[in-house]
């Protein structure tokens, strides 16, 4: 019962949280463009020291923006468990050498920077969708389509579907987490591995159902 109450009180990762702050009122296209540029800057190539400075600066910007939006900066990390699992997998691949058994310092540094990039990009997306609804983003993209006369491409629909799948993934992940805890499962690596594959399976089924629904609408 406590898990159910916690689920109600805690928003789903990458879900919209109603508010009237400056970030909420800004045009969706502006927010999407700015945070997309931030996400691209995260992966700007360079030396380790240069990457560290860039990542630190972007992280500071996200913290300031989250405070403006009246969001807990740490809350942007909610739902990043699968990313942590992926970073750990990369660490095992890049940070350890089997023959002879030793730690690869260079590989370890690269893994740390890679993990920081992934997590910061995740936080940027989390902040965007906490202050912008998918409908607002689709409306902004549709307007952009009309301006450049590319309505027939309907890329706004494709992006909206993609964004919907991102949210669906976290809804599925949270439901599986709740079921795992209700059955007495622990918070360990086994949980991440098990729930990751279950989430992928459910997302594939969801994608198939969406494709069938879109095809049936097209034939009507």
Q: Based on the domain organization, do 62 and 121 belong to the same domain?
A: yes
Which pLDDT does position 2 carry in this prediction?
A: 44
pLDDT band at 59 (very low <50, low <70, confident <90, very high): very high
Closest CA to 158 of 177, 176, 180, 134: 134
Detail the DSSP E strand segments found in the chain: 96-97, 102-103
Give the β-pairing of 102-103 and 96-97: antiparallel
Final residue of a structural domain among 70, 105, 132: 132
The least confident of 132-136, 143-147, 205-209 is: 143-147
Task: Give pLDDT tens digits for 86-143.
Answer: 777 777 676 666 667 677 777 777 778 888 888 888 888 889 888 988 778 878 877 7
Task: Give pLDDT tens digits for 159-177.
Answer: 666 666 776 777 777 778 7
Which residue do the tokens 């940070």 mark? 95
Q: How many domains does the chain have?
A: 2
Classify the C-alpha dihedral 132-162-76-180 as positive or negative. positive
Q: Based on the domain organization, do 150 and 186 belong to the same domain?
A: yes
Q: Based on the domain organization, do 64 and 146 belong to the same domain?
A: no
C-beta atoms surrounding 32 within 10 Å: 19
Final residue of a structural domain among 116, 132, 148: 132
Residues 159 and 141: their CA atoms lie apart, in Å, by: 9
Q: Based on the domain organization, do 121 and 150 belong to the same domain?
A: no
Which pLDDT does position 3 carry in this prediction?
A: 47
Tokens of 212: 């069938």
* pLDDT over threshold 60, residue 6: no
Beta bridge partners of 103: 96
pLDDT band at 63 (very low <50, low <70, confident <90, very high): very high
Domain ranges, residue 144: 1-13+134-220
Residues 104 and 97: their CA atoms lie apart, in Å, by: 7
């Amino acid at each position: 019962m406590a898990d159910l109450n916690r689920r109600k009180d805690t928003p789903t990762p990458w879900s919209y949280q109603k508010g009237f702050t400056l970030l909420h009122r800004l045009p969706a296209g502006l927010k999407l463009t700015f945070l997309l540029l931030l996400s691209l800057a995260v992966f700007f190539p360079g030396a380790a020291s240069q990457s560290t400075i860039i990542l630190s600066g972007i992280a500071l910007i996200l913290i300031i923006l989250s405070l403006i939006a009246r969001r807990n900066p740490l809350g942007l990390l909610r739902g990043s468990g699968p990313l942590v699992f992926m970073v750990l997998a990369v660490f095992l691949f890049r940070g350890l050498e089997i023959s002879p058994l030793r730690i690869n310092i260079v590989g370890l540094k690269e893994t740390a920077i890679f993990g920081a990039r992934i997590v910061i990009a995740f936080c940027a997306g989390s902040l965007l969708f906490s202050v912008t609804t998918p409908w607002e983003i689709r409306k902004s993209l549709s307007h952009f389509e009309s301006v450049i006369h590319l309505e027939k491409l309907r890329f706004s629909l494709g992006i909206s579907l993609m964004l919907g799948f991102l949210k669906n993934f976290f809804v599925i992940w949270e439901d599986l987490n709740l079921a795992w805890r209700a059955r007495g499962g622990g918070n360990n690596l086994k949980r991440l591995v098990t729930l990751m594959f279950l989430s992928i399976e459910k997302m594939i089924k969801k994608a198939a159902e969406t494709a069938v629904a879109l095809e049936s609408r097209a034939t009507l």
